[in-house]
Structure 1
Amino acid sequence: MEDAVAEFGRHLRAERGVSPHTLRAYLGDLNDLTGYASDLGVTDPAALEVSLLRAWLARQHALGRSRATLARRTAAARAFTRHLHRRGVLQDDPGLLLGTPKRGRELPGVITQEEAARLLDTMDAEGPLGLRDLAVLETCYATGVRVSELCGLDIDDLDTERGTVRVLGKGGRERTVPMGEPAARAVQDWLRAGRPALATDRSGPALFLGARGGRLHPTSARRIVHARIAEVGQVPDLSPHGLRHSAATHLLEGGADLRSVQEILGHASLQTTQLYTHVSVERLKHVHRQAHPRGTRSDE
């Protein structure tokens, strides 16, 4: 069973082009599945049956796994059995008989437009690390990129004349995202006066660098965002994903259409964009008052 999982991992990496994060998550899920199957005496992938898969998922539910985790583990099991079926290891595909747990619509926290301005306008940007950190937060908020996409940016991805950045997203999909003047200015300041002080032989073309000169790691980027928000104060703690969600929310509040936000965020499905973005109730009420023939209350 372990060999089958390892071969499936090579298939995902070489032929499906999944992200490293998705690969780690799927292999972790399947290693848990094979461990559960082994405890039941099932070590041959050809012996996988829907009853075993359902029992494994039921155990995950009993252990208190979140709906998002259950949905991902169901998807991992389905992809695995589909692969085994296509290779002739399984005569029938038991994954087709699995139900799909509904994922919760929990959204990350957001900051207001005023809080975003306070954060970015009052940050300490002294020294190479200060310049880098301001450029990181400005870029996260201006472009709405994922933290992995942010850390994967190279210097050549910037188009300073057009004020855009080329982003390589999930599934190898490339998109061009506008940056805005404050973010572009912060990045230029970092490239001019910050990056040269940290750059080493191992820096390569990476846009953002860690303190030792290597490409900035997503874990470090998350730590930077949390630390800088804490320093500023009077701004709710937020992750890079929260900045991404805030950017999308503020775009919608400013009048952007959902399709444009989808393109900026790099979502393959508009449905995903709808889960990541929301418009404040107050703005909806304002639009209703302005646009609906009976939207204005009689006492106003």
Structure 2
Amino acid sequence: MNRLLEEYLHYLRVERGLAHNTLASYRNDLNQFLQYLQTKQITTLTEVDKNTIIEYLTFQTQQHKENSSIIHSITSLRRFFSYLVQEKIIIKDPMLLIDTPKKKQKLPEVLSIKEVETLLATPNTAQILGMRDRTILEVMYATGLRVSEIINIKLNDLHLSLGIIQTIGKGNKERIIPIGDVAAKWIERYLNESRPKLLKQKRSPYLFLNFHGEQLTRQGIWKNLKAHVKKAGIQKNVTPHTLRHSFATHILENGADLRIVQELLGHSDISTTQIYTHLSKQRLSKVYNQAHPHA
């Protein structure tokens, strides 16, 4: 079974061109399933039927797995068994009669404009790393880029004279994002004052670097952001995605078209973007209730 899993992951990597993080999530889901089969003395995938799947999903629920994790697991299993049928390794797909539970819609945390301004002003720009962190925060809020997209920005992706940044998002889809004057000016300052000192005689195609002159990592951005949020006195659970959510919500509140927001965020399905309209309405109601004397 482990050999079949490796062949499947190889297929996803080579023929489907899936990203490393996506492959890792599939591997994790499917490894958990194969480990479960071992505890049930099931040694071949041809033994797996609908009841096996139902029992496994029940087991996951009993383990207090999040609804979103179970949905992701079902998706991973559905694609895995579809591949096995396609390759004629199994005859009957046990996932055909398995329904996917509806995902609980959880509105993302969003910062107010005042909180964003406070956070942006927190890094000490007199220091090399402070200048870099201020630039990163400005770019994240100005563009709504994912943290994986931020760390992979290369110097060649910058077109500051045109006011745009190129990026490669999910599914290797390229998109062009406008960047405001404020963020562009911070990038120019960072390029002139901070980045050369971080490079330390090295060379790197990447825009954002760590203290050793290497490409900054996702974990590095998370760690630095947490420190700045704490210093800013913001009590919300802020992640890099929070700035992406705030970007989308704020431009919608200021009249941006939903289709434009979809394009900027790189969503393939507009239903993903529609959560921000719910969020915007919720915030509108909250402001009304606080401000109106008869609310």
TM-score w.r.t. the length of structure 2 is: 0.92
Residue type at the aligned position of 1:251: I
Q: Which residue of 2 aligns with 1:245?
A: 245
Structure 1, unpaired ranges of 5+: 288-296
Residue type of the alignment partner of 2:58: A
Q: Distance in 1 between matches of 2:82 and 2:234?
A: 50
Q: Deviations over 1:231-255 (max 9, x none)?
A: 2225644110011001100011111
State the Cα distance separating 1:4 from its structure 2 match.
0.8
Identity of aligned residues (%): 35
C-alpha distance in 2 between matches for 1:168 and 1:151: 11
Query: Match for 1:113: what amino acid?
Result: I
Is 1:96 equivalent to 2:57 in the alignment? no
String of CA shifts for 1:18-49, please: whole Å, max 9, x gaps: 22222111100100100111121222223322
**How far is the alpha carbon of 1:81 from its aligned partner?**
0.1
Helix, strand or coil for the counterpart of 2:255?
coil
Deviation at 1:174, TM superposition (A): 0.6
Contact 2:121 2:134 in 1 (8 A): no
Cα distance between partner residues in 2 of 1:35 and 1:199: 45
Amino acid at match of 1:181: D
2:105 counterpart of 1:105: yes
- Following superposition, the deviation at residue 11 of structure 1 comes to 1.2
Q: How far does the alpha carbon of each residue in 1:273-292 deviate from its partner, in whole angstroms, 9 at most, with x for none?
A: 113552144647999xxxxx
Name the amino acid aligned to 1:27. Answer: R
Match of 1:220 in 2: 220
Secondary structure at 1:238's aligned position in 2? Answer: coil
Task: Tell me which residue corresponds to 1:56.
Answer: 56
Verify the 8 A CA contact 1:203 1:209 in the aligned structure 2. Answer: no
Query: How much has 1:109 moved relative to structure 2?
Result: 1.1
Is the 8 Å Cα contact of residues 123 and 232 (structure 1) preserved in structure 2? no
Contact 2:167 2:175 in 1 (8 A): yes
What is the RMSD computed on CA atoms of the aligned residues?
2.2
SS at match of 1:193: helix
Match of residue 294 from structure 1: none
Q: Distance in 2 between matches of 1:126 and 1:86?
A: 59
User: Which position in structure 2 is the counterpart of 1:196?
Assistant: 196
Separation in structure 2 between the aligned mates of residue 282 and residue 39 of structure 1, nearest angstrom: 48
CA distance 1:69–1:281, shift in 2 (3 Å) = closer
Greater mean deviation of Cα atoms: 270-279 or 197-206 = 197-206
**C-alpha offsets along residues 102-130 of structure 1, whole Å, 9 cap, x if unaligned?**
11111331111122122223532122211
Output the amino acid matched with 1:123. P
2:280 corresponds to = 279
Higher mean alpha-carbon deviation, 13-22 vs 256-265, is at 13-22
Q: Distance in 1 between matches of 2:101 and 2:77?
A: 13
Q: Deviations over 1:158-194 (max 9, x none)?
A: 1111111111000000101111111111111111111
- The amino acid that maps onto 2:39 is D
Equivalent pair of 2:252/2:258 in contact (CA under 8 Å): yes
Give the secondary structure class of the aligned counterpart of 1:221.
helix
- The alignment's TM-score, normalised by the length of structure 1, stands at 0.90
* Whole-angstrom CA distance in 2 between matches of 1:82 and 1:283: 45
Does the CA contact (< 8 Å) of 2:122 and 2:228 recur in 1? no
Map 1:137-216 to 2 at 5 A: 137-199=137-199, 204-216=204-216
DSSP-derived class of the 1:190 partner: helix
**Paired residue for 1:9?**
9
Tell me how far apart the structure 1 counterparts of residues 70 and 242 of structure 2 sit (CA, whole Å): 23
The one-letter amino acid of 1:273's match is T
Counterpart CA distance in 1 for 2:231 and 2:176 is: 32
Q: How many residues align?
A: 290
Structure 1 residues 282 and 129, CA gap change in structure 2 (3 angstroms): closer
